[in-house]
């Protein structure tokens, strides 16, 4: 199953509901272009909902980091929502939980951008 992304706006935040696999190739390319497009349109508050993401490889992790850096460099914020246990474990062992702002409640996550 390849990656799917649905973007919706809640207040000043663009919530991206991701599902499927974020892996080397199509999944990573899609995510890269999606964040690039949002930034190009001036959307700098991005919340990635990873609740339905079934698999992330090291390239996918790299893409999350790349997105985080790109958004931060433009003065914005990229945060993560609803990590599955597998993704949580991956970010834990790679120490990236110390980098990303992670939430498990969408309303609170939205409020944190204010």
Partner 1 sequence: MKSLEVADEIVQRVCATAGFEEEEQHKISMAVHESMINAIWHGNKSDASRHVGLRFDLYANRLEIHIRDQGAGFEVSNVPDPLASENLLKVSGRGIFLIRSFMDDFRVEFVPGSGTEVILVKRINSSDNSIEGGTDREHEGHNTPS
Binding site for partner 1 (CB under 8 A): 23-26, 57-59, 61-63, 65-66, 68-69, 86, 90, 93-96, 98-99
Shortest distance, CB of residue 82 to partner 1, whole angstroms? 18
Shortest distance, CB of residue 3 to partner 1, whole angstroms? 13
CB closer to partner 1, 7 vs 23: 23
* Beta-strand pair 13-22/102-103: unpaired
CB closer to partner 1, 15 vs 27: 27
Shortest distance, CB of residue 9 to partner 1, whole angstroms? 27
32-41, long-range: CB < 8 A, 24+ apart: 32/63, 32/66, 32/67, 34/5, 34/7, 35/67, 35/70, 35/71, 35/78, 36/70, 38/7, 38/14, 39/70, 39/71, 39/74, 39/76
* Beta-strand pair 77-81/102-103: parallel
Shortest distance, CB of residue 106 to partner 1, whole angstroms? 26
CB closer to partner 1, 36 vs 86: 86
């Amino acid at each position: 199953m390849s990656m799917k992304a649905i973007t919706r706006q809640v207040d000043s935040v663009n919530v991206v509901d991701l599902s499927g696999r974020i892996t080397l190739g199509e999944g990573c390319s899609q995510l890269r272009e999606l964040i690039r497009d949002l930034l190009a349109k001036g959307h700098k508050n991005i919340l990635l909902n990873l609740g339905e993401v079934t698999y992330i490889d090291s390239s996918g992790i790299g893409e999350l980091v790349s997105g985080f850096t790109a958004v931060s460099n433009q003065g914005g914020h990229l945060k993560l929502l609803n990590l599955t246990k597998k993704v949580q474990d991956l970010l834990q062992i790679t120490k990236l939980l110390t980098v990303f702002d992670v939430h498990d409640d969408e309303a609170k996550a939205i409020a944190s951008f204010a």
